[in-house]
């Protein structure tokens, strides 16, 4: 069996019966939806048309949400339904980033992910999904696509159908008869501030929580007024020629915020605090006889612990963080990353314990730790690549982007602390090595940033993200802080100034965090539905 959906847009009247039935069947909280209807208006007055498009999980044959889920909370059944077990979910929101169709949400009551599961409890006893039963026009067709006698199989054989974002390779199983690109492509009619639900466009992270708070603090009439206070469109005799949204579900806002940006930085620092003394030992063996190496290992461990704390803090279900290690799903880079960080921490402890007492054994641990330090730095690039909903993160330059950061961040922090702790890590030889490492890292970092932003992009969404960074809402943070303060000025000071090295180092560290923050947030502004 291979279950799928067809939405017949010739029949859909935009009545929202499917949305209401789904909410009733699954007790879906206010502010979030498993299925919803998007309205798009096209044309120019008086020749206009309103399109209704039912949005929901596509139950992909190659579901990216299943691949990225670290705990097997999401899984594909034998009948093709992509189902979920919220008892396993840790609320990492990776599935929401991986889904190109914006089909998942975080339930504000359980703090776990949820989505359309094809009403599997009904399907298992031979019933159709609730949305199919309630549709007054029979515009939603479900069934076994592998059964040639089923209605859905016959429609697929006789009608021209379209699907959303087939270029993603997910093999979606939600098809549209007379599907219009203006409705199915989210950037064809971008979100604006002139339609219902526009009040969430300001970046409310989980809109459901905001709606629930309004419901608790005000009566329903006041709540509706506040949610709709900006949605009233001034009457005009002309309808714009370009397609525009006139009704949509709430935007989910930024799913990964400052915690993810900070954890990318802290793990880069952790890796760099080990790698730089390790590499320096090949050029200046005497350095390792002093306290620099052990001091670096200690700081590396501290920042690794901070990294783990930030990862746990970002979870909507932090009490289940151990599930990543205890109930692993090995195709997920969240799982692989969890084990990489854990092994790296163990190897750092082993090096620390054997550095003086068993140098030969310690050398084995050091080489192993160096490998895992690099893996710690770059694995996030592969995690972001699994987030197929965000095209900008699919850049082949992203692993290099992550690889240069341990050397940049490690050199910068070592230079900063070498002044107040000069007795420990303040030798001129060591500072010279760090200054050279920082200089090279800044040059390489600028080259990689230019490659990521100014070379051609394979998709419109990736190009749109680059536009957001270069000339959009992030332009000031990018050009002023990330590029000028964080890269160009430190380069100039390192080359031509006699100022203390901690000054360009501090500037580089600030610029690096701002860069990471932009790289995490900017792709999430591109709409997925």
405-436: pLDDT as tens digits? 999 999 999 999 877 765 455 567 888 899 99
pLDDT of residue 445: 96
- Distance from C-alpha of 131 to C-alpha of 142, rounded to nearest angstrom: 10
Bridge partners of residue 55, in order along the sequence: 36
Phi, psi of 83 (to 5 degrees): -110, 175
Give mean pLDDT, residues 83-99: 95
Query: Is residue 305 packed enough to be buried (19+ CB in 10 Å), middle (13-18) or exposed (0-12)?
Result: middle
Structure tokens, 300: 């590396």
424: left (phi over 0), alpha (psi -120 to 50) or beta: alpha
Give yes or no for a contact between 462 and 394, defined as CB atoms under 8 angstroms apart.
Answer: yes
Q: Give the domain 3-194+243-247 fold.
A: Alpha-Beta Plaits (3.30.70)
pLDDT-derived band at 372 (thresholds 50, 70, 90) equals very high
Show Cβ contacts of residue 438 under 8 Å, excluding neighbours closer than 6 positions: 408, 411, 412, 415, 490, 494, 504, 505, 508
The candidate with the shortest Cα–Cα distance to 95, out of 438, 452, 388, is 388
What's the N-to-C CA distance of the chain in angstroms? 28
Give mean pLDDT, residues 220-228: 50
pLDDT of residue 258: 93
Instruction: Give residue 155's Cα distance to chain centre.
Output: 36
Give yes or no for a contact between 442 and 491, defined as CB atoms under 8 angstroms apart.
Answer: yes
Phi, psi of 14 (to 5 degrees): 65, 35
pLDDT of residue 359: 84
- Map tokens 């690039």 to a residue: 381
H-run or E-run covering 83: strand 82-84
Question: Does pLDDT of 235 surpass 60?
Answer: no
Give yes or no for a contact between 142 and 129, defined as CB atoms under 8 angstroms apart.
Answer: yes
Give mean pLDDT, residues 287-314: 88
On average, the pLDDT of the chain sits at 88
Give mean pLDDT, residues 256-261: 94
CB neighbours (10 Å) of residue 11? 16
CB neighbours (10 Å) of residue 187? 13
Residue of higher predicted confidence among 188 and 207: 188
Question: Does pLDDT of 155 surpass 90?
Answer: yes
> What DSSP string describes 11-77?
T-----HHHHHHHHHHTPPTT--SEEEEEEEEEETTEEEEEEEEEE----TT-HHHHH-TTS-EEE-
Handedness of CA 296, 302, 304, 310 (dihedral sign): negative
Tell me the domain boundaries of the chain.
3-194+243-247, 258-525
Give yes or no for a contact between 177 and 161, defined as CB atoms under 8 angstroms apart.
Answer: yes
pLDDT-derived band at 480 (thresholds 50, 70, 90) equals very high
Give the rounded percent of residues in the chain with a pLDDT score beyond 90. 74
pLDDT of residue 227: 47
Q: Give the domain 258-525 fold.
A: Formate dehydrogenase/DMSO reductase fold (1.20.1630)
pLDDT of residue 245: 87
Structure tokens, 382: 């592969």
Residue of higher predicted confidence among 31 and 117: 117
- Return the ∠ at Cα 336 (arms to 330 and 342), rounded to 5°: 130
pLDDT of residue 411: 95
Helices (H), 323-421: 323-326, 333-354, 359-386, 398-417
Give mean pLDDT, residues 344-373: 92
Residue of higher predicted confidence among 491 and 46: 491
């Amino acid at each position: 069996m291979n279950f799928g959906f067809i939405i017949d847009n010739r029949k859909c009247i935009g009545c929202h019966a499917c949305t209401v039935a789904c909410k009733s069947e699954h007790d879906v909280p206010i502010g979030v939806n498993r299925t919803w209807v998007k309205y798009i208006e096209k044309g120019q007055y008086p020749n206009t048309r309103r399109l209704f498009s039912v949005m929901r999980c596509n139950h992909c044959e190659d579901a990216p949400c299943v691949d990225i889920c670290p705990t097997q909370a999401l899984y594909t059944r034998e009948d093709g339904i992509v189902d979920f077990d919220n008892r396993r979910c840790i609320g990492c929101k990776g599935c929401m980033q991986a889904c190109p169709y914006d089909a998942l949400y975080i339930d504000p009551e359980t703090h776990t992910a949820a989505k359309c599961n094809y009403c599997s409890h009904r399907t298992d006893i031979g019933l159709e999904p609730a949305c199919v039963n309630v549709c007054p026009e029979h515009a939603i067709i479900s069934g076994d696509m592998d059964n040639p006698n089923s209605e859905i199989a016959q429609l697929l054989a006789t009608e021209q159908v379209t699907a959303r974002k087939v270029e993603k390779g997910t093999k979606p199983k939600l098809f549209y008869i007379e599907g219009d690109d203006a409705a199915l492509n989210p950037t064809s009619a971008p979100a604006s501030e002139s339609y219902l639900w526009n009040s969430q466009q300001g970046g409310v992270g989980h809109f459901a929580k905001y709606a629930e708070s309004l419901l608790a603090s005000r009566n329903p009439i006041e709540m509706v007024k506040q949610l709709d206070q900006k949605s009233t469109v001034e009457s005009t005799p002309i309808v714009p020629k370009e397609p525009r949204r006139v009704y949509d579900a709430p935007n989910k806002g930024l799913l990964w915020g400052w915690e993810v940006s900070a954890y990318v930085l802290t793990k880069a620092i952790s890796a760099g605090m080990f790698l730089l003394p390790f590499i320096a030992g090949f050029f200046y063996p005497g350095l390792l006889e002093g306290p620099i190496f052990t001091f670096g290992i200690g700081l590396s461990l501290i920042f690794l612990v901070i990294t783990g704390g930030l990862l746990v803090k970002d979870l909507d279900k932090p009490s289940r963080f151990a599930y990543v290690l205890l109930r692993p799903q090995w195709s997920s880079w969240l799982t692989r990353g969890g084990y990489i960080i854990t092994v790296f921490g163990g190897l750092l402890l082993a090096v620390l314990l054997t550095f003086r007492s068993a140098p030969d054994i310690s050398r084995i641990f050091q080489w192993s730790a160096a490998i895992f330090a690099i893996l710690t730095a770059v694995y996030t690039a592969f995690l972001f690549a699994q987030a197929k909903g965000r095209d900008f993160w699919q850049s082949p330059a992203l692993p290099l982007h992550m690889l240069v950061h341990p050397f940049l961040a490690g050199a910068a922090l070592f230079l900063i602390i070498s002044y107040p702790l000069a007795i420990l890590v303040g030798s001129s030889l060591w500072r010279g090595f760090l200054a050279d490492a920082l200089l090279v890292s800044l040059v390489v970092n600028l080259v990689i940033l230019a490659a990521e932003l100014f070379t051609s992009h394979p998709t419109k969404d990736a190009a749109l993200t680059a536009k957001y960074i270069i000339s959009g809402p992030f332009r000031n943070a990018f050009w002023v802080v990330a590029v000028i303060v964080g890269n160009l000025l430190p380069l100039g000071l390192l080359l031509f100034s006699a100022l203390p090295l901690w000054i360009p180092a501090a500037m580089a560290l600030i610029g690096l965090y701002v860069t990471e923050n932009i790289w995490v947030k900017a792709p999430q502004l591109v709409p997925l539905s």
